[in-house]
């Protein structure tokens, strides 16, 4: 059975029957660390929100190294995308889709702001390949990176033929616009449909297709549940391998869904006080991301667990960017903005 090809509503019924007799994953000691990390990282989030002066945690690993939030939408780049890209500008589907994908290609606030400084409002109806290519090249020539280090996109040269990576990605965006993906989304019934549509395009693999689908779903272009679909990325797979000595008959995606569905039980078992996001429980995307972060955290807390990649160090140290508390803003359809 290939569960990727089963429509979501059908899969929910099938999974219940399919779970009978399946061998469950075997937990390692890192499994409890996953939940402790989630609770402490979320506690740090609320402590920082109420008081801009550190320390916000007594955990020396969290004090020393950089970790994303327990909830993906609370991270700095996601917050910028939601507030300044998605919900600021022309809400027309074509313009909204164009802004989201252009931002996500580079996933870097500074790149977006540089483009805005030159072109003003970012719009598809005023976009010109030569102008955007020239500006992106200028930024690079100044020695600045135009891409975030959060993930790596393939160059796309074999598909579009340009030496400049950013040129190929602009052409990919143009192809998406020509294919009118922004209209197709409105007829989709699940996030998995959107995922497979995005994965058709060169340079977008499984992990990026899922991440882009989540970002699009922050907007009014779609209104899928974040419990609809999940795809484990490389970092999450590393974390899963550390949390379990064996997966039994479960896939990586099965494990992520299990964690999401059993979160309340696990926090209660460990006597952990987890403050969710103003009534919103951890979703599949959040539990997927938490595996990535626990992979990093375990490099210090549990160095005896090597995972798949075998990485031993956490590269990014924590640097306090500002004493000013962020004014958080989430997709209005979540009904948690206050």
Q: Do 109 and 40 fall into the same domain?
A: no
Q: Do 69 and 118 fall into the same domain?
A: no
Between 275 and 20, the more confident residue is: 275
What one-character-per-residue DSSP string does 37-76 give? HHHHHHHHHHHHHH--SSP--S-HHHHHB----SSGGGSH
Share of the chain above pLDDT 90, in %: 84
**Which of 117, 148, 182 is where one domain is finished?**
182
In a domain, 152, yes or no: yes
In a domain, 80, yes or no: no
**pLDDT tens for each residue of 39-79:** 999 999 999 999 988 899 999 999 999 999 999 999 999 99
Residue 86, SS3?
helix
d(CA 303, CA 176): 43
Q: Do 154 and 108 fall into the same domain?
A: yes
Between 14 and 260, the more confident residue is: 260
Q: Do 122 and 66 fall into the same domain?
A: no
In a domain, 207, yes or no: no
In a domain, 317, yes or no: yes
User: Does residue 111 surpass a pLDDT of 90?
Assistant: yes
Q: Do 94 and 44 fall into the same domain?
A: no
d(CA 335, CA 285): 18
Distances (CA, A) of 169 to 77, 106, 156: 20, 9, 7
Residue range of the domain that includes 92: 88-182
- The mean of the pLDDT values for the chain is 92
In a domain, 337, yes or no: no
**pLDDT tens for each residue of 122-177:** 999 999 999 999 999 999 999 999 999 888 889 999 999 999 999 999 999 999 99
CA dihedral 184→187→191→197, nearest 10 degrees, is -30
User: Does residue 231 surpass a pLDDT of 60?
Assistant: yes
Confidence of residue 307 (pLDDT cuts 50, 70, 90): confident
In a domain, 211, yes or no: no
Q: Do 178 and 244 fall into the same domain?
A: no
In a domain, 125, yes or no: yes
Q: Do 67 and 101 fall into the same domain?
A: no
**Which of 182, 212, 244 is where one domain is finished?**
182
Q: What's the mean pLDDT in 243-264?
A: 97
Residue 134 burial (CB < 10 Å; 0-12/13-18/19+)?
exposed
**Which of 140, 157, 182 is where one domain is finished?**
182
Residue 161, SS3?
coil
Confidence of residue 20 (pLDDT cuts 50, 70, 90): low
Residue 234 burial (CB < 10 Å; 0-12/13-18/19+)?
middle
In this structure, the strands spanning 244-246 and 26-27 are antiparallel
Structural domains of the chain, count: 2
CA-only gyration radius of the chain, Å: 20
Q: Do 94 and 156 fall into the same domain?
A: yes
In a domain, 333, yes or no: no
d(CA 295, CA 27): 15
Q: Do 248 and 311 fall into the same domain?
A: yes
Token reading at 305: 């667990």
Largest CA distance in the chain: 60
What one-character-per-residue DSSP string does 106-145 give? HT-HHHHHHHHHHHSS--GGG--HHHHHHHHHHHHHTT--
Q: Do 246 and 299 fall into the same domain?
A: yes
Q: Do 104 and 163 fall into the same domain?
A: yes
**pLDDT tens for each residue of 170-206:** 999 999 999 999 999 999 999 999 999 999 999 999 9
Q: Do 167 and 239 fall into the same domain?
A: no
């Amino acid at each position: 059975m290939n569960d990727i090809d089963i429509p979501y509503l059908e899969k929910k019924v099938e999974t219940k029957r399919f779970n009978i007799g399946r061998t469950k994953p075997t937990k390692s000691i890192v499994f409890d660390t996953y939940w402790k990390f989630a609770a402490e990282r979320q506690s740090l989030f609320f402590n920082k929100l109420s008081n801009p002066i550190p320390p916000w945690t007594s955990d020396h690993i969290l004090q020393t190294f950089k970790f994303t939030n327990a909830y993906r939408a609370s991270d700095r780049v996601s917050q910028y995308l939601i507030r300044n890209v998605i919900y600021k500008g022309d809400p027309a589907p074509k313009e909204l889709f164009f802004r989201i994908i252009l931002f996500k290609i580079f996933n870097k606030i500074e790149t977006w702001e540089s483009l805005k400084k030159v072109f003003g409002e970012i719009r598809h109806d005023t976009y010109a390949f030569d102008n955007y290519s020239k500006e992106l090249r200028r930024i690079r020539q100044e020695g600045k990176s135009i891409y975030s280090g959060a993930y790596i996109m393939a160059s796309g040269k074999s598909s579009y033929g340009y030496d400049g990576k950013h040129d190929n990605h602009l052409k990919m965006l143009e192809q998406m616009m020509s294919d009118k993906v922004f209209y197709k989304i409105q007829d989709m019934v699940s996030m998995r449909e959107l995922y497979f549509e995005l994965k058709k395009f060169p340079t977008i693999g499984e992990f990026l297709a899922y991440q882009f689908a989540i970002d699009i779903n922050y907007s009014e272009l779609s209104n899928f549940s974040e419990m609809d679909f999940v795809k484990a990325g490389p970092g999450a797979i590393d974390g899963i391998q550390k949390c379990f000595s064996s997966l039994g008959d479960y896939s990586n995606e099965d494990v992520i869904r299990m964690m999401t569905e059993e979160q309340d039980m696990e926090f209660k078992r460990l006597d952990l006080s987890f403050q969710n996001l103003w009534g919103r429980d951890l979703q599949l995307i959040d539990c997927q991301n938490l595996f990535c972060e626990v992979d990093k955290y375990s490099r210090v807390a549990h160095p005896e667990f090597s995972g798949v990649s075998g990485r031993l160090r956490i590269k990014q140290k924590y640097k306090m960017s500002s004493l000013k508390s962020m004014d958080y803003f989430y997709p209005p359809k979540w009904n948690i903005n206050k």
